Amino acid sequence: MGLLVGLLITWPAVPWNWFTVIGIGLALVFPILVFPHTKLLYLAIDLAFRPAEPPDLATPVEPGVAGKRN
C-alpha cells in the first residue's frame, strides 16, 4: 500500500533508488521488530491444535545432576 501511495505521489519521476533503499531497510528491520509477536502467535496456534498434556508440563530431570553432591 505504501509503495502504491509513493508511486502515485511521485509519478512520473519515481525515485526508484529511494524505494529500493527504503524497501531493503524495511526488509531488514521489520522481521526483528515483529519477531516476539509472531513467535507468540505461532505458540498460541500450536497450543490450539495440540493442547498441553501432563507430561508436557513436567519438569525435566537431567541425568547425573539430581544425585550429585560435592
Nearest to 49 by CA among 58, 57, 41: 41
H or E, element range at 37: helix 16-49
Spell out the per-residue pLDDT of the chain, length 70, in tens. Answer: 888 998 999 999 999 999 999 999 999 999 999 999 999 999 999 999 999 999 888 988 888 765 555 5
C-alpha triplet 3, 33, 2: angle, nearest 5°:
10
Nearest to 4 by CA among 19, 24, 25: 19
56 contacts 40 by C-beta, under 8 angstroms = no
For the chain, what is the radius of gyration of the CA atoms?
24
Q: Where are the domains of the chain?
A: 2-49
Specify the pLDDT at position 66: 55
